[in-house]
Amino acid sequence: MEGINAGVASDRIVAEWALDSERVEDVAEGPRSETKMHSYPLHIAIPKDLDALLAIDLNRAIAERQRVREEMTAAFIAGYRVTGFDTASSAYGLSKP
């Protein structure tokens, strides 16, 4: 995996799904109406094209990864979970269980 990150700290997180939870069962039942990003109590934006950013501005890409890492860590400590992602805004939606 060293080649993928090219000397930059990884932006990977571990996802855990409680397969017997009501939320997972709802998702498994099929398509549902899309949750709008404004309905999440917290959202964390990520760069839309990190690969391009890495190629043109390595320092900014590193700063963005660090910002996302810090925001995610603070949110997880505060009890939030990632419960959605909006491709249009390139942002994770977070809520408390």
Residue 81 has pLDDT above 80, yes or no: yes
55 versus 2: the higher-pLDDT residue is 55
48 versus 12: the higher-pLDDT residue is 48
**Using CA atoms, how far apart are residues 83 and 23, in angstroms rounded to an integer?**
9
pLDDT at 67: 95
pLDDT at 50: 84
pLDDT, tens digit, for every residue of 21-72?
Answer: 887 787 778 766 566 767 889 999 999 998 898 889 999 999 999 999 999 9
Of 4, 71, 13, 52, which Cα lies nearest the Cα of 60? 52
Q: Does the global pTM surpass 0.85?
A: no
pLDDT at 1: 43
The ranges assigned to domains in the chain are 2-95
Determine the number of helices (DSSP H) and then strands (DSSP E) in the chain: 4, 3
Place of tokens 């930059």: 8
Q: Which residues, 6+ apart, have CB-to-CB distance to 6 below 8 Å?
A: 54
SS3 content of the chain, % helix, strand, coil (to 5): 40, 15, 40
Place of tokens 């419960």: 83
